[in-house]
Amino acid sequence: MSSENRRRKHERKPFSEATQAAGTPNLPQDGAMTTSYSPVLENANRVGRALDIPERAQAIRTETAAELAAIKCTARLPRQRSLIGYTQ
């Protein structure tokens, strides 16, 4: 596995946890708040904190799950080489 593939796999790992983080975000407790080192998870937590309305949170979870499924699907597709500038 190339280093690029390993990097992409590592970046996609938190996607499976993003829906959960948006639905049940880290909230401030006693003046402190847990933050994630992963930009994906931290942004999901921020979305969850901003959407303190249960109906909106459910809609966001549903949409997030659909977007993540689409990302996983495209990640499995073979890469196409660009023909721009290609000469034979």
Within a domain: residue 53? yes
Within a domain: residue 69? yes
Its pTM stands at: 0.56
Q: What is the pLDDT of residues 16-57, one digit of tens each?
A: 788 888 888 888 899 999 998 888 889 989 988 887 766 777
Residue 40 has, within 13 A of its CA and on its CB side, a CA count of 15
Within a domain: residue 31? yes
Within a domain: residue 88? no
Within a domain: residue 20? yes
Within a domain: residue 87? no
Within a domain: residue 28? yes
The total number of structural domains in the chain stands at 1
Contacts of 44 (CB under 8 A, 6+ apart): 17, 18, 19, 21, 22, 25, 64
